[in-house]
Every structure is written in C-alpha cells, then in structure tokens.
C-alpha cells in the first residue's frame, strides 16, 4: 500500500510507473492507458499541477500565451476550455490542469503525497523497482521520469539563516494560503523571472521592499490583457492548423521574425521593429529578428535597446545603472514583467547591488551586506532551481550493473535525445537534459515526448521485446551534436541555470537542446522510423 488514501492494489504488476503529476506526467498517464498499458503516477504534492501546484507567489503566471501553453492532444478539450487572459495566471493554469485530471479520470491512478527516493533496475526481471519516502516499493516494466526541469528549489547556504527571527519563503514553495505582507518590511533575494513577476505586487502591499540583485536581467513588458471579444473563438476556428504550424517554429510557438537579421535593415527600421515588438510581443520579443541570439552585433543592438528602455523608465539614474544588464541579451532566460522597472520609482522600494559585495549573512533582524544590515520582517528567496538535473539527481537512480545516475553525470548530464540514458534501460525522461525543454513551449514538448515514448513502448510490446536502452555511441554523438549547436548560440555566453552555473559545484554543461523544436522532432521521428536506431532492443 502506498498511501492510506489511495492504495494501488497491483503495484508490482504495472507496465509503466510515472513520477510526477505535472503537464508531462498527466498526459503520460492518459496516453499509456489509451495504448492499453497499466500505469500509475507517484506525486510528491497533494494534487496535480507540478510547477503550477508549487509556484504560488504573487504575480505568478505563464509567459507563453495560454492558447499555446495548453494541451493539444484532445480537440474537445481545446475547444471547450475558456482562457480569460492572454497569459494565464497560476490559479487559472492550476484549475485547467485539475480539470484535465478530472475530465480524463486520471486521479484514480495517481498516488499523492508520495515522494520517490530511489529507482533500481532489476536486470533479471527486466523491470524497475521504485522506492518512496515512506518505504513502499513499486515495480514496473518502464519508468517515466516526469519530474520537471525546474522543480528542485535552490536555497543558497547563507550563513546565519537559522538565526533570522522573521518569516522566510522560497518562490517555488509558496504557502498555499498566500502571504499578507501588509505593514511588513520585506527583503527579496534574486532578480530572475520569479522575482521580476512578484516584486511589483509585493511592493504595492509591503511597507518597505528591499531587492538584493546579483545579476541584472533583461525583462520585457508581458503585454498581458484579458482576451478580446471573439479572439478565442477565432483561434478555436483553426486550432488544429495553428497547432500544426506552431511545430514548425524553433520554440514551437508560431511567431515569425520580422526579418532574418537586425543588421540587414536601417537603424530607423531596426528601432521601429524593436519598439513594435517591445509593446506587444512579450517573451517573443527575442524573435524580433532571427539573429538576435546568434550574432554579436545583432545582440548588441537589442541589448542596447532594452538598456535604453530601462534608463528611460527608472527615474534615479544610479538605480537604473544597477538594473541595466551587462550580459548579452538572452544568455540568461529572458524575463517578462508588468511594471517591474517602474516599481523602482516607488519610495518604499530600494535596490542593493550584491554583485561585488555579496550578502555576508542573514542576521536575526535582516540581511547583512558589506557591514550594513537591511532590516526585514520577511525574507523571500527568489533564488531559482537546481535546473534540469536536480529532480533526477535527488533520487538514487541505479541502472544496469549498479551504475548510479549521479555518478554517470558527475561531469554533466549525457543522454540520447534527452529522452533516455545509456546504462538505464526502460527509463525515459520527459523534458530531460539534452531535449529542448524550457527553450520551447513546454506543453508541446511534454506531448511530443509522451507520444514518442508511447509509440516506442507499443513497438516493444508488438515485437515481444523486454527492454530498450540507448547505445553509448548514439548518446555520445547526441551530446557532441548538442554541444556544437549550443556553442553557436549566445545563450551559452554567460552564467545561467541553463549551464548549471547557479549551483555551486555543478558541472558547466549547456543542458537544454538548442537546435529548435522542428529539427529535434525530426531527429526523434527518424530514430523511430529506423526501427529505433541508436537503441539496443532486447
Ligand atoms: O530563478 P533564476 P527564477 N546571492 O535562477 C539569484 C522559469 N520561470 O525562479 O543571476 C544572491 O532565474 C540569481 O542571481 P544570479 C523560467 O524558465 C518562468 O526566477 O545567479 N543572489 C538570480 O537573480 C526561469 O528562467 C516563469 O547572479 C542569488 C535569482 O536568484 C526559471 O523558471 C516564471 C544567489 C534566481 O533566478 C527560473 O526562474 C518564473 C545568491 N547566493 C520562473 N543565488 C514564467 O513563465 C541565486 N541568486 C514567467
């Protein structure tokens, strides 16, 4: 029995064990059932939702438009669901995922409040033995790790943290009941996407907000708004076609750059395009010209445009200069904002640059930097995640011949297609390192992986095969190809979570695949069509 509330009765006989009940895990469960496999999901939280279950900080919403950031596998679902805003809030996304779980009767095969701690390949039985925090054991022929690329919060080891007398929060583990900062002095550490979304709202509520910034980030206006009358209906009238078209774009989001190069147009035209895209395109501003993330001079142009915007919004020029990013545009993941820079014009908001003078320690009454204590009643850690490998590394995953995944990956993750790992038969990762993952529309990425895995398992069943495993040369070739593609982009030009640089001691490897969704999907297709070339099937 796994939990008292939801006990599986045939745990040792299931075909597919899925870890995680976010977008990837839920669709995996639905698809596996549809293909006639028995499947079960183990989920650490007490409900479905993954990212959208855990991230409940003020202002949390998706930066991919709702019409794209949603499932496309079921026409009735996409026709019936009504999005209220261009970019859905976390509560709206969570209710969408809950609706999907109910609509497809998924909950009966999900065991909540159950964290997986270990998975061991049993060669003699050709199955995975999976263990949970409560000491339960589940066996399954196949294991799908739908654990999310950004699901393990990074909590820097600040000295003195335990001495703090106020409340502490991490944006990725926000209290379900919400937090009222009225009358409070709040400190927030970090200026990535989570901080940039939450700072304007916390500033409106708190007495005083102190922002501790180590690296200035690029943020562009989200341009969020309620859906216009008739807008959703127009999308739905051609939804299937829109979805198909989306898959032809590198990000799996159908946005066509205004031109191939920012350098091929006059200064006036470039400025006009940047301004137009700045006003309305949100995250897709980065696609205003096709070469912004590849050619230094084009990148300089867009970097300078955004720097100019920051200087024009922030009234205190010394504050503006701290907020102006020094990195190339897009090498850290771009952020979208609603009134982020404007918030620094408020009297109750101050900015502390901790780049050259890092945080010394947390003290009982606040945060100590360079001998000054910034007093706080609450400290928010908006310090990000152990990305891409964090959740997989937290479990003790032991493959063939006793090979432990963290040992194999001690110099950085390697995989074939970001889906499978040599030495770990019958194990699949959804949005794993080596796949496009967070560089594309994540829901499309999840669906693509699940459908590839479903076809693969069906093939194994149809051919009476027991196990599939990525071959070493195929994995090495994929790692090398991913490295080459990654080096061609300016995204790898600075420290970021893409590279694991935000976690002390983590090897520096650019983890998401940068070749774009169409090339990636084509490679996955051709491997399958070739009878799973690059895999050993036994
Ligand atoms: O985390 P981050 P995030 N001292 O890693 C700072 C997705 N997402 O949760 O840059 C001081 O980006 C760190 O500083 P530095 C999206 O993919 C999407 O904000 O390492 N500061 C940085 O400023 C995103 O990229 C959405 O120098 C320290 C911050 O903490 C990803 O999640 C919304 C520090 C961490 O920023 C992660 O975003 C939210 C230290 N010791 C998230 N350690 C949307 O869809 C870390 N920092 C809109």
Q: Which residue from 214, 334, 388 has its CB within 8 A of the most atoms of ligand 1, so it is best to mutate?
A: 214
Digit-coded pLDDT (tens) for 23-52: 999 999 999 999 999 999 999 999 999 999
Give the pTM: 0.96
Digit-coded pLDDT (tens) for 429-468: 999 999 999 999 999 999 999 999 999 999 999 999 999 9
Same domain flag for 331 and 456 = no
pLDDT at position 3, please? 36
* 3 falls within a domain: no
Spatial distance between the Cα atoms of 206 and 21, rounded to a whole number of angstroms: 34
pLDDT at position 12, please? 55
* 262 falls within a domain: yes
CATH number at residue 111: 3.50.50.60
pLDDT at position 7, please? 42
Same domain flag for 230 and 328 = yes
Same domain flag for 348 and 399 = no
pLDDT at position 6, please? 44
Same domain flag for 398 and 377 = no
Q: Is the pLDDT of residue 2 over 70?
A: no
Q: How many domains does the chain have?
A: 2
* 1 falls within a domain: no
* 4 falls within a domain: no
The tokens describing 430, both together, are: 């959804």
Long-range contact pairs involving 391-394 (C-beta distance under 8 Å, separation at least 24): 391/20, 391/145, 391/147, 391/148, 391/151, 391/152, 392/145, 392/147, 392/429, 392/432, 394/152
* 509 falls within a domain: yes
pLDDT at position 9, please? 40
- Looking at ligand 1, which residue's alpha carbon is closest to its atom 34? 383
pLDDT band at 13 (very low <50, low <70, confident <90, very high): confident
Digit-coded pLDDT (tens) for 235-286: 999 999 999 999 999 999 999 999 999 999 999 999 999 999 999 999 999 9
Q: Which atom of ligand 1 is nearest to the CA of 215?
A: 27
Same domain flag for 420 and 531 = yes
Output the average pLDDT for the chain: 96
Spatial distance between the Cα atoms of 438 and 286, rounded to a whole number of angstroms: 15
Same domain flag for 344 and 407 = no
* 353 falls within a domain: yes
pLDDT at position 492, please? 87
Same domain flag for 96 and 238 = no
Q: Which residue has the higher pLDDT, 426 or 486?
A: 426
The tokens describing 412, both together, are: 């950085």
Average pLDDT over residues 346-358: 97
Q: Which atom of ligand 1 is nearest to the CA of 195?
A: 19
Which residue, of 354, 381, 408, is where some domain finishes? Answer: 381
* 514 falls within a domain: yes
Q: Which residue from 502, 503, 505 has its CB within 8 A of the most atoms of ligand 1, so it is best to mutate?
A: 502
- CB 69 near ligand 1, within 6 Å: no
Which residue, of 381, 405, 431, is where some domain finishes? Answer: 381
Q: Is the pLDDT of residue 499 over 70?
A: yes
Same domain flag for 177 and 138 = no
Q: Which domain holds residue 486?
A: 10-152+387-537
Average pLDDT over residues 293-319: 98
- CB 438 near ligand 1, within 6 Å: yes
Same domain flag for 235 and 262 = yes
Dist. CA 97 → ligand 1 center (Å): 24
* 298 falls within a domain: yes
Dist. CA 445 → ligand 1 center (Å): 22
Digit-coded pLDDT (tens) for 518-532: 999 999 999 999 999
Digit-coded pLDDT (tens) for 157-215: 999 999 999 999 999 999 999 999 999 999 999 999 999 999 999 999 999 999 999 99
Same domain flag for 168 and 221 = yes
Dist. CA 508 → ligand 1 center (Å): 17
In sequence order, what E strands does 152-304 have?
Answer: 167-170, 185-189, 208-213, 219-221
Same domain flag for 207 and 355 = yes
Which residue, of 364, 381, 398, is where some domain finishes? Answer: 381
Same domain flag for 68 and 211 = no
- CB 421 near ligand 1, within 6 Å: no
């Amino acid at each position: 029995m796994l939990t008292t509330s939801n006990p599986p009765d045939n745990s040792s006989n299931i075909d597919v064990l899925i870890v995680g009940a976010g977008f990837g895990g839920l669709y995996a469960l639905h698809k596996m059932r549809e293909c006639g496999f028995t499947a079960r999901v183990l989920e650490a939280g007490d409900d479905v939702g993954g990212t959208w279950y855990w991230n409940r900080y003020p202002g949390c919403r998706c930066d991919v438009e709702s019409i794209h950031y949603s499932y496309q596998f079921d026409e009735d679902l996409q026709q019936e669901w009504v999005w209220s805003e261009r970019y859905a809030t976390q509560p709206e996304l969570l209710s969408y995922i809950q609706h999907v779980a109910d609509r497809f009767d998924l909950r009966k095969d999900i065991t909540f409040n159950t964290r997986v701690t270990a998975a061991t390949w049993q060669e003699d039985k050709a199955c995975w033995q999976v263990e949970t925090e409560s000491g339960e054991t589940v066996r399954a022929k196949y294991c799908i790790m739908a654990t999310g690329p950004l699901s393990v919060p990074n909590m820097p080891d600040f000295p003195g943290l335990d001495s703090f007398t106020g409340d502490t929060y991490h944006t990725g583990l926000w209290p379900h009941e919400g937090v009222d900062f009225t009358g409070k002095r709040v400190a927030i550490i970090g200026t990535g996407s989570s901080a940039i979304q939450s700072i304007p709202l916390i500033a409106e509520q708190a007495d005083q907000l102190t922002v501790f910034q180590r690296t200035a980030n690029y943020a562009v206006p989200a341009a969020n708004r309620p859906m216009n009358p008739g807008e959703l209906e127009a999308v739905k009238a051609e939804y299937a076609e829109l979805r198909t078209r989306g898959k032809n774009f590198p990000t799996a989001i159908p946005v066509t750059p205004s031109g191939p190069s920012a350098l091929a147009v006059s200064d006036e035209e470039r400025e006009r395009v940047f301004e137009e895209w700045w006003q309305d395109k949100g995250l897709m501003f980065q696609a205003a010209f096709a070469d912004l993330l590849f050619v230094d001079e084009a990148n300089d142009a867009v970097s300078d445009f955004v720097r100019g915007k920051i200087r024009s919004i922030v009234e205190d020029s010394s504050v503006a200069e701290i907020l102006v990013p020094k990195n190339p545009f897009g090498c850290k993941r771009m952020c979208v904002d609603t009134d982020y820079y404007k918030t620094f014009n408020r009297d109750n908001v101050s900015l502390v640059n901790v780049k050259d003078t890092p945080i010394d320690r947390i003290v009982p009454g606040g945060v100590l930097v360079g001998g000054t204590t910034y007093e706080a009643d609450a400290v928010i850690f908006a310090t990000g995640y152990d990305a891409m490998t964090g959740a997989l590394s937290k479990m003790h995953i032991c493959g063939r011949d006793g090979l432990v995944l963290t040992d194999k990956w001690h110099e950085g993750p390697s995989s074939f297609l970001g889906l499978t790992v040599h030495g770990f038969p019958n194990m699949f990762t959804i949005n794993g390192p080596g796949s496009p993952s967070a560089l594309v529309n994540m829901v499309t990425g999840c669906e693509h992986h699940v459908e590839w895995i479903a076809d693969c398992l069906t093939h194994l069943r149809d051919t009476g095969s027991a196990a599939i495993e990525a071959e070493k040369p195929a994995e090495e070739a994929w790692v090398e190809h991913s490295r080459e593609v990654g080096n061609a982009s300016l995204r790898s030009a600075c420290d970021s979570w893409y590279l694991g640089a935000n976690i002390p001691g983590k090897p520096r490897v650019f983890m998401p695949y940068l070749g774009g969704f169409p090339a990636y999907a084509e490679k996955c297709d051709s491997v399958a069509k070739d009878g799973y070339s690059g895999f050993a099937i036994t």
